[in-house]
Structure 1
Amino acid sequence: MRNVAELPLHGGHVPAWLAQRMRKLTRLVLILAVDEYGTKGLLERLSDPVWFQAFNNLIGMDWDSSGSTTVTVGMIKEALSREELGVKVAGGKGKASRRTPEELKTIAERYELDPEPYIRTSRLVAKVDTVAFQAGYQLYHHAFFLDEEGNWAVVQQGMNEKAKLARRYHWFDAETFTLDPHKAIAGIRAELALNTVSNDSREFQKTLLDLVSEGPEKVAREVETIKAIAKGYRPLVYYRPRDVDERVILKRYESLGKLELNARALEFARELGVGNYEELLLLKGLGPSTLRALSLVVELVYETPPSWKDRVTHPPDPFKFTYAVGGKDRVPFPVERGTYDDLISFLEKLVERNREERAIVRNVAKITKNWKFPSEEKTPTP
C-alpha cells in the first residue's frame, strides 16, 4: 500500500460557521499539546506530516486537499497570536509569506532572541525547495514556527500548476541545509527530481562551486555547446563519455523548465568568493533556471551528476481522523455541528482541569489506536 494522499488543487472556502468552530478547536488542541509535550514537542509534531494531517482532519478540513495546509496553518497562526503559549508563527500563504522576515523579527525580539539566524534560515529553506530541489513545484506558502527557546519548524507548500497537485515540505531544527535537510516531504513522488541536496551530493556541490568561480562566460559557452551537440553538432575537439546521450540528459533538465543563466548573479558569486553551497543558494538572482544550467554543465562536462531521486516520504494515511467531526466537503460525511460543539465543550472543561485529570485523553487515544477506517468509505474529496 502506497499510503500517500494526493493533494489536488481545491477551490472554495471554509464557511463561517465551520471556521468559527475550527478556531476554537485549534486553540484547545494547541493548549493541550504544549501542556503535554512542551513547545519543542509541538514543533516536532507539526513537522511530522502524519501528525499535521491528522490535526487538519480533526478540525474538519479535507484529508486530500491543497487547502489542508493553508487553512490549518492559518488557524494555528491565529490561535497562537492570541494565546501566549511560548510559540508563534510568521508567514503564511501568498503575500503573507513575504512578511515572514518582518514578523520573525517581532517574534524573536519578544522572546529575546537574535532574529537574524531565523530570517536567514527562512530564506534558505525557501531557496532549497525552489532552487536546490526541483520537482516542478512552485512555493506559494511558507510558515515559520519559532518558540521561546529558539527551536523552529517550517511548513511550506508548492504547487505543480500542470498537474494541479501540491506537496508539503516539513523542516525542524535542521543541522544542515544542503544534505538531506528535510524532516519530511508529503505528496506524490515524481519519476525524476533535480536533487542537489541529497546526502551524496558533496562532490557535486564542490564541483558546482568550482564552476561558478570561473565566471558566467565559461558557463554560458558550455551550455550553448551542449545544446548544439544535442542537436547533432560535433566540435573538432570534444570528449564524449561512454554511454552518454546528450539529448536525453538535456531533455531531462528542460522538462523542469528553461535553462537561462543569470550572469549578474554568477558574476557576483565570483566576486564574493562564495565558499559553500548555502552561500550560493542565498545569492539574490540565483533561481531554478540558473541552477539547472549549472547542473547540466557539471553533469556533462565534469561528469559529476546530481541526484535525480525525489525525496517524498510515505507517511501512514491519517484518514481515520476525518471521523472525528466529519469533513468540510462531506467526506467521509458532512461535518456534524452537534458533535463538533460537544467536542469543543469537552476539551474546554478538560483545559480547565489539572494535568492528572487530563490523563483521560491518553486513555481515549489508547482505545482508538488500532481502529481502522472502513476502506470502502475512503473516497477522494469532490
Structure 2
Amino acid sequence: MGRRSGSADLPLHGGRVPAWLGQRMTRLGAVITQAIMLEYGRDELLRRLAHPFWFQSFGAVMGMDWHSSGITTSVLGALKRGLAPLSGELGIHVCGGRGRHSRATPAELIAVGNRVGIDGDALARSSRLVAKVDSAAVQDGFDLYLHGFIVTDDGRWVVVQQGMNGTAKQARRYHWLSEGLGSFVDAPHAAIEGKAQGNIVNLADRRASASRDRQLDLLRQAGPDGIVRHLARIEPRAIPAREPEQQAMLPHLVMPGHHDVRAENVVERRLHGALAAAVECGPQDFAELLLVPGIGARTIRSLAMVAEVVHGAPCRFSDPARFSLAHGGKDRHPYPVPTKVYDRTIEVMKAAVGAAKLGNDEKLAAIRRLDEQARQLERTASGPSVDALIAEERGRSHEYGGRSVYGWEPPAGPDRSMAVS
C-alpha cells in the first residue's frame, strides 16, 4: 500500500522565478541532494521528496516564497536542471515539469529506461496512471497542471504533481512513492496536500473498491449508451448528510495566505538553537575547518538550517517558514535574498560534498555536527524574537547583497559597511 504522510493548503501564486535566484536554487538544490545521498542513500532522498513538510521546507531554504504553490514548480525545476549533468554519477533522473513538460514525461521515462537498462515502458505507464488517478479518480476540484517524476537507476521513484483551483485560488500537491506501493487505485498516495473541502469523490480510496467494481459491471452490462440512459432516468433528489468516516490522524500543514513571516509561523526554540550554534561554533574556527575564507556567524546560521534539511527528522519540519530565515524570499518576505550569504552557503556545501566524494568526509561531518549542536542548544538557548530578527536582517540587507524581484536593496544608511559576516 502507498504511505500517506500528510496534507497541506497552499495559496496559488503566479509569476516566475528570476534567473539570478533560479541559478542559485539549481546549485544549492543539487548540492543538498548530493549531501543527503552521501549520508543516507538514494532511497532516503525519495522518501524526503515524498514528505510534504520536508518538501516545503526544502523550497523555503532555497529562497522561494515560503508558503506558496510556486515552491513545487521551482523545486522540481531546480532539481531537473541541477541533477541532469550528475544523473550518470548519482543514478537519479528528474523528468516532467509544468504544462508541456508534464506531457513529455512518458517519453522522457522511456529514454531513461533505454539509457540505464530499466523498463521505461512500465515507468511511462506508471506516470500516466498516477496522473489519471489524481485527475479523474480523485475529483476534488483541482485540475492538474504539473507532473514531476523522479526515478533512480534501480527503478524506484517518487512523483510530485500539483493541481489548481482557480476559483478558490488554492493549489493542491500530491506525493506518490513507489516504495510499498501495492495498487494504483487502492489508497496509493504517499501524501496529498490541499485545503479540505468536505466530502469529495475519491475513487482511489480503498473504501471505494465496491464502487469501482460496480462501475465496471455497469459498463460491461449496459455499455456507454446504456449508462447515459440510466443517468437520464435518475431524478435529482436530496442526499442525506452523513458523518464522515473516521480516518487515522495525519499531519496537516496549513500554509497561510499572508505573505509576511510571523512569529506564529516559526518554532522559536529551534530558531534560537540555530542562532546559538552559529555563535558557539566560533565563525573563525568553522571557516578554518571548511577552508572557505570569509565565513561568519550570518553564513553559519544559514548553514545550520541547510544542515537540518539534510539531517533533520520529519517532526522538525512542522514550521517551513523557519527555513525561509536562511536565505529570505524573492518577494522580500521575510526579507530580500542575501545573495552574498547564499553564495557562501553554496561554496561551503560544495566543498564539503566534493571532499566527501574523494573519501574525506570531515567537512561533511562538520555540517552534521552543526545540526547536532543546534538541536542540543535549542533546549536552553534564547535569542531575539522573529520580528526582531527579520527587522535586523532587513536593516542589513544591502550589506548581504539583498535582492528581490523588485531589485537590489539600497543602503540603509551611510554608516553601513559592506562586509559579509
Q: TM-score range by the shorter chain?
A: 0.7 to 0.9
Q: Residue 56 of structure 2 is aligned with which of 10, 34, 53?
A: 53
**What is the match of residue 352 of structure 2?**
350
- 1:98-113 equivalences in 2 (<5 Å): 98-113=103-118
**What is the match of residue 189 of structure 1?**
196
Amino acid at match of 1:43: L
Q: Distance in 1 between matches of 2:40 and 2:341?
A: 27
Q: Residue 39 of structure 1 is aligned with which of 38, 42, 55?
A: 42
Q: Residue 121 of structure 2 is aligned with which of 116, 119, 143?
A: 116
> What is the CA-CA distance between 1:35 and the residue it aligns to?
1.1
Amino acid at match of 2:12: L
**What is the match of residue 324 of structure 1?**
326
Q: Does the alignment pair 1:211 with 2:218?
A: yes
Q: Distance in 1 between matches of 2:80 and 2:43?
A: 16
Q: Distance in 2 between matches of 1:175 and 1:125?
A: 13
Q: Does the alignment pair 1:77 with 2:15?
A: no
**What is the match of residue 67 of structure 2?**
64
Unaligned runs of 5+ in 2: 1-5, 254-317, 391-404, 406-421
Asked if the contact 1:332–1:378 (Cα under 8 Å) also holds between the matched residues in 2, the reply is no
Q: Does the alignment pair 1:314 with 2:252?
A: yes
Q: Distance in 2 between matches of 1:10 and 1:54?
A: 17
Asked if the contact 2:143–2:165 (Cα under 8 Å) also holds between the matched residues in 1, the reply is yes
Q: Distance in 1 between matches of 2:167 and 2:369?
A: 45
**What is the match of residue 240 of structure 1?**
none
For the aligned residues, what is the CA RMSD? Answer: 2.9
Q: Distance in 2 between matches of 1:97 and 1:308?
A: 35
Asked if the contact 2:8–2:252 (Cα under 8 Å) also holds between the matched residues in 1, the reply is no
**What is the match of residue 200 of structure 1?**
207
Amino acid at match of 1:359: A
Q: Residue 369 of structure 2 is aligned with which of 363, 369, 372?
A: 363
Q: Distance in 2 between matches of 1:7 and 1:206?
A: 34
Q: Distance in 1 between matches of 2:368 and 2:132?
A: 40
Asked if the contact 2:61–2:324 (Cα under 8 Å) also holds between the matched residues in 1, the reply is yes
Amino acid at match of 1:86: G
Q: Deviations over 1:27-82 (max 9, x none)?
A: 21111111112222211111111111111011100111111100110000111111
Asked if the contact 2:141–2:165 (Cα under 8 Å) also holds between the matched residues in 1, the reply is yes
Q: Distance in 1 between matches of 2:96 and 2:19?
A: 23
For normalisation by structure 2, the TM-score amounts to 0.67
Q: Deviations over 1:331-350 (max 9, x none)?
A: 21111112111211111221
Q: Distance in 2 between matches of 1:378 and 1:218?
A: 66
Asked if the contact 2:97–2:148 (Cα under 8 Å) also holds between the matched residues in 1, the reply is yes
Relative to structure 1, is the Cα distance of residues 180 and 317 closer, same or farther in structure 2, using a 3 angstrom cutoff?
Answer: farther
- 1:1-382 equivalences in 2 (<5 Å): 6-84=9-87, 85-173=90-178, 174-214=181-221, 215-226=223-234, 229-230=235-236, 246-248=237-239, 314-315=252-253, 316-353=318-355, 354-369=360-375
Moved more, 365-374 or 166-175: 365-374
Amino acid at match of 1:363: R
Identity, in percent, stands at: 40
> What is the CA-CA distance between 1:376 and the residue it aligns to?
6.2
SS at match of 2:15: coil
Q: Distance in 1 between matches of 2:99 and 2:388?
A: 34
Q: Distance in 2 between matches of 1:53 and 1:378?
A: 22
SS at match of 1:201: helix
Relative to structure 1, is the Cα distance of residues 146 and 65 closer, same or farther in structure 2, using a 3 angstrom cutoff?
Answer: same
Relative to structure 1, is the Cα distance of residues 350 and 125 closer, same or farther in structure 2, using a 3 angstrom cutoff?
Answer: same
